[in-house]
């Protein structure tokens, strides 16, 4: 039994005892016959005082401010991926995707993979992974130091760009994705971004590496 429950029980007993004593006194003053209880007025006041003290203690334990300790488990922060795609864009003459890479952090894949860049015009009405209007660069060897890649636009991407220009659209957004492909993968077979995974490759923005 904890201290709070004990206080409550003692409090109830004292108040009942005090009520009996005061009830006895009131009945006695009305000349009613009841058994004599040997309590003096002083004892009554002492009992009431003890009851009030215990009541105050009980109220304190019931309503005192409580400090609740909470343990917050934070998920371990994932280390940030090194920056690989340093610069990108589309050049006009000839029309091509231009990319500057730093693949120094990918040296553990050098034996089995080559690195390439997939680029396309951004179109929110089309699934990015299934858009076939893409340009894919040739596979490059993973090596320490910067790699500059310039890839002429594919016919589907070039045609789309011509349609935008004909419609008067002068500004447009692009996306460029760095991918790893097993050495010997026929890049000509990568007709959409999802094909990278079909050939057991990695899209570095989305896949763990």
pLDDT for the residue numbered 92: 81
pLDDT grade for 90, boundaries at 50, 70 and 90: confident
113 shares its domain with 199: yes
pLDDT of 33 > 60? The answer is no
Domain co-membership, 116 together with 185: yes
| pLDDT level of residue 200 (50, 70, 90 thresholds) | very high
Higher per-residue confidence, 45 vs 31: 45
Greater confidence (156 vs 208) lies with 156
Do 59 and 96 fall into the same domain?
Answer: no
Is residue 136 domain-shared with residue 175, that is, in the same domain?
yes
The DSSP letter of residue 68 is -
- Residue 123's Cβ-side half-sphere holds a number of Cα atoms within 13 Å equal to 17
| Same domain, yes or no: 38 and 128 | no
pLDDT at 29: 62
How many CB atoms lie under 10 A from the CB of residue 51? 19
Report the pLDDT value the prediction gives residue 35, as an integer from 0 to 100.
52
Q: Are residues 41 and 139 in the same domain?
A: no
Task: Tell me, yes or no, whether 113 and 193 share the same domain.
Answer: yes
My answer on whether 115 and 147 are in the same domain is: yes
Give domain status of residue 208, yes or no. Answer: no
CA 103 to mean position of chain CA atoms: 29
To the question of pTM greater than 0.85 for the whole model, the response is no
> What is the predicted pLDDT for the residue at 205?
94
Tell me the average pLDDT across 186-203. 96
In a domain, 69, yes or no: no
Query: Please, which pLDDT band fits residue 142 given cuts at 50, 70 and 90?
Result: very high
- DSSP letter assigned to residue 122: -
pLDDT surpasses 70 at 116? yes
Total structural domains within the chain: 2
Question: Does residue 192 lie within any of the structural domains?
Answer: yes
> Residue 79 domain-assigned?
no
What confidence score (pLDDT) does residue 60 get?
57
Annotate 6-55 with DSSP letters as a single string: HHHHHHHHHHHHHHHHHHHHHHHHTT---------HHHHHHHHHHHHHHH
Considering the domain boundaries, does residue 52 fall inside one?
Answer: yes
* 136 in Cβ contact with 187 (< 8 Å): yes
149 burial level (CB within 10 Å; 0-12, 13-18, 19+): buried
Residues 189 and 89 in one domain: yes
146/178 same-domain check = yes
Examine the domain organization and report whether 147 and 54 are in the same domain.
Answer: no
In a domain, 174, yes or no: yes
The verdict on residue 40 lying in a domain is yes
User: Domain of 174?
Assistant: 85-203
Q: Per the domain annotation, does 44 fall within a domain?
A: yes
* Cα end-to-end span (Å), the chain: 58
Residues 34 and 127 occupy one common structural domain? no
Residue 48 burial (CB count, 10 A) = 16
């Amino acid at each position: 039994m904890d201290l709070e429950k004990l206080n409550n029980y003692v409090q109830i007993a004292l108040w009942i005892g005090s009520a009996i004593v005061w009830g006895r006194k009131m009945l006695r003053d009305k000349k009613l016959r009841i058994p004599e209880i040997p309590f003096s007025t002083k004892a009554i006041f002492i009992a009431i005082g003890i009851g009030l003290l215990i009541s105050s203690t009980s109220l304190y334990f019931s309503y005192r401010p409580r400090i609740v300790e909470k343990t917050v488990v934070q998920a371990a922060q994932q280390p940030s991926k090194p920056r690989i795609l340093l610069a990108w864009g589309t050049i006009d003459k000839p029309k091509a995707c231009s990319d500057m890479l730093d693949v120094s952090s990918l040296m553990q894949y050098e034996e089995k993979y080559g690195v390439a860049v997939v680029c396309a015009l951004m179109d929110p009405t089309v699934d990015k992974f299934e858009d076939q209007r893409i340009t894919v660069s040739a596979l490059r060897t993973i090596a320490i130091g910067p790699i500059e890649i310039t890839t002429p636009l594919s016919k589907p991407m070039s045609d789309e760009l011509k349609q935008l220009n004909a419609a008067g659209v002068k500004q447009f957004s692009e996306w460029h994705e760095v991918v790893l492909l097993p050495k010997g993968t026929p890049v000509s077979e990568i007709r959409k971004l999802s094909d990278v995974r079909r050939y057991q490759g990695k899209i570095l923005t989305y896949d763990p590496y």
